[in-house]
Amino acid sequence: MLSSLYYSALRGTGLTALARRLRDGALILCYHDVVPAGSSEGDPAVHLPVERFTRQLRWLRDHYTVIPLLELTARLAAGASVRGVAAITFDDGYTGTFTLALPVLRQLGLPATVFVVAEAPGQLEGFWWDHPVVAAAVTPERRQGWLTELRGDAQLITTALGAGSAPAPPPTHVPAGWNFVAAAAAAGIDIGVHSATHRTLTMLDDAELEREIKTAAEIIYTRTQAEPAAFAYPYGIWDPRVRRAVRATGYRAAVTLDYGLNTSATDLWSLRRLNVPASISQAAFAGWAAGVRPTAPPLAPARRLAVLVVEDEDNVRRGMVLLAKRLGHDVMSVGNFAEAHQRLNEAAERYDVFLLDVHLDDEHTGFDLFEQLRGEGRGRERRIVFTTGDSISARTRDELQRSERPVLRKPFSLHELSEMLERVAGG
C-alpha cells in the first residue's frame, strides 16, 4: 500500500482535510481501467479493482464538487474560483472503463471524460504494456528507452522483446469496441482523443503528428457523431511543439500526467492530473487529491544549471533560491525589474533557465523581460519559466498562453522545481 501509515496519520490529525480546504486549485483525476476483484493480468499499475474504485468515487462525491472536464476548463478560462472542484478522466478506452466504471459513475451521478485511442477499438490483443513478456521485462530505465528510442510504438517494442502473440486477455483488459464508445457518448459521457496509435508524440515528425492529433479526432467523430474537444497526451509526454499542434487543431484543452492542481494560471493545454495508481490506499488517495504527496529525495541533476531568479518578494525569492541550490544548481537572484533588465543586457547568455515572476512592480511584469529576450532573436526566451500565485487576471492568463512558456504556481515543491528545470534546460 502506498505509504498508508503516513497518510493515515495525516488524516487522523486533520492535516489532509486542512490542505484540501486551503488549496485553491481544481483536481483532475486520471484512471485507466477498472476490473473485477482478483484480476491480476496486465500492467498492475493501471487495472483498478472495482470495489476500490467505488470507494474512491464515493469519497470524491462527498468531498468535492465533481463537474465535467470542459466545464472545469471553462471556469479556469474565466478566472472563476475552482476551490473544491474536481473532474474525472479515463485514458486508453479499456472495455472495463465502459462495463464496470461507467455504471458506478451513473449510480453516483458523476460525469466523466474518456480519452480513446482512435485506432484501438476492436483490437483483440490489448495494449503493449499489458503483454506478459513486457510486464516481466519492464524496469523504469527500459520503459524510458521504449518511449524514446522506440517512440512508444507497440510493434517496435514487442518486436524488440521477441514478444509473440499473448494469451487472450480478460475482456476488461482490451480496448472497448466502437459500440461501447458510441453508446457512452450518446448517454452523455464526454469522449476525448488520446491520439491515434498511442505513440510518443514528441518523437514523431509533423505528418505523423497530424495523424495522431487531427486524424484521430476525425475517426472518433465519424464513429460516435460526438466532436472531441479535449486531448490527452499519450504517456503524459508533451513539449511546446506538440502543445502548439494540439491547440492549433482546435482542441479546447489538453491534459498531461504532470502531478498537481489547476488554477486560473494553469495553461489549458497542459492541465495537470492526479494519475491514480491501482494499488493506492484510501488514505493516500485523499492525501494526493488534496495536493499532499511526499517526494523522494531529488536525484543529482543531469547537469549543473545556471539559474536566474527574478522575484520582487524577498521571502519568496529566498525560498526559491534555496530550493534551486538544494538541487545542486548555481543560482543568482534579483528583486526588481531594473536589476533584471540590466542583468539580461549584460549576461543573459550565462543562464540556462530564468525563473521570472509574472508581477514585478506597478509598471513592469515578467512579460517585459520575455519580450526583451525574444527581441534578441537568439531563442533565449525559451529558457523562461514564469512563476505566479493562485489568482491572476484574465489579461495575465492570456499573456501566459500567448508566451507558450511553462508556469510554476507558488508555492511549488522541490520535486516540481526539479522537473521543470530539467524540462526547460533539456528542451
Same domain (yes/no): 145, 24: yes
Range of the domain at 320: 306-426
Does a structural domain hold residue 397? yes
Task: Enter the pTM of the model.
Answer: 0.73
Tell me: pLDDT of 15 over 60.
Answer: no
> Which has the minimum average pLDDT: 12-21, 48-57, 170-179, 312-321?
12-21
Same domain (yes/no): 149, 278: yes
Does a structural domain hold residue 295? no
Domain closes at, from 289, 320, 341 = 289
Q: How many domains does the chain have?
A: 2
Does a structural domain hold residue 299? no
Does a structural domain hold residue 122? yes
Does a structural domain hold residue 300? no
Q: What is the pLDDT of residue 292?
A: 58
Q: What is the pLDDT of residue 390?
A: 67
CATH code: domain of residue 373: 3.40.50.2300
CA distance 30 to 27: 10
Tell me: pLDDT of 5 over 90.
Answer: no
Q: What is the pLDDT of residue 133?
A: 93
Domain closes at, from 233, 258, 289 = 289
Same domain (yes/no): 344, 420: yes
Does a structural domain hold residue 112? yes
Query: Which strands form 330-334's sheet, in the order they lie side by side?
Result: 330-334, 306-310, 353-357, 384-388, 407-409
Over residues 250-307, the pLDDT tens digits come to: 999 999 998 888 988 889 999 999 999 998 888 888 877 876 555 544 445 557 889 9
Tell me: pLDDT of 192 over 90.
Answer: yes
Q: What is the pLDDT of residue 112?
A: 98
Q: For residue 33, count CB atoms less than 10 angstroms from its CB and return exposed for 0-12, middle for 13-18, buried for 19 or more.
A: buried
Higher pLDDT: 43 or 287? It is 43
CA distance 207 to 211: 7
Q: For residue 61, count CB atoms less than 10 angstroms from its CB and return exposed for 0-12, middle for 13-18, buried for 19 or more.
A: middle
Over residues 384-412, the pLDDT tens digits come to: 999 988 677 888 888 888 898 999 888 77
Q: What is the CA radius of gyration of the chain?
A: 22
CA torsion, ordered 23, 240, 146, 210, to nearest 10 deg: 120
User: 389 has which bridge partners?
Assistant: none
Same domain (yes/no): 348, 263: no
Over residues 351-371, the pLDDT tens digits come to: 999 999 998 888 888 899 999
pLDDT band of 203, cuts 50, 70, 90: very high
In sequence order, what DSSP letters do the residues of 55-115 get, joined into one string? HHHHHHHHHSEE--HHHHHHHHHHT---TTEEEEEEEE-BHHIIIIIHHHHHHHT---EEE
Q: What is the pLDDT of residue 265?
A: 84
Same domain (yes/no): 19, 70: yes
Does a structural domain hold residue 99? yes
Higher pLDDT: 36 or 14? It is 36
Same domain (yes/no): 183, 90: yes
**Could you tell me how far CA 16 lies from the centroid of its own chain?**
22
Same domain (yes/no): 184, 264: yes
CATH code: domain of residue 238: 3.20.20.370
Nearest alpha carbon to residue 101 among 56, 71, 147, 145: 56
Does a structural domain hold residue 333? yes
**Could you tell me how far CA 32 lies from the centroid of its own chain?**
14
Q: What is the pLDDT of residue 155?
A: 93
Same domain (yes/no): 234, 333: no
Same domain (yes/no): 348, 267: no
Over residues 328-347, the pLDDT tens digits come to: 888 999 999 999 999 888 88
**Residue 288 Rama label (left phi>0; alpha psi -120 to 50; beta):** alpha
Q: Is the peptide bond before 411 cis (omega within 30 degrees of 0)?
A: yes
CA distance 314 to 238: 34
Domain closes at, from 258, 289, 320 = 289
Same domain (yes/no): 74, 211: yes
Same domain (yes/no): 24, 134: yes
Same domain (yes/no): 253, 334: no
Identify the DSSP state of 6: H
Q: What is the pLDDT of residue 252?
A: 97
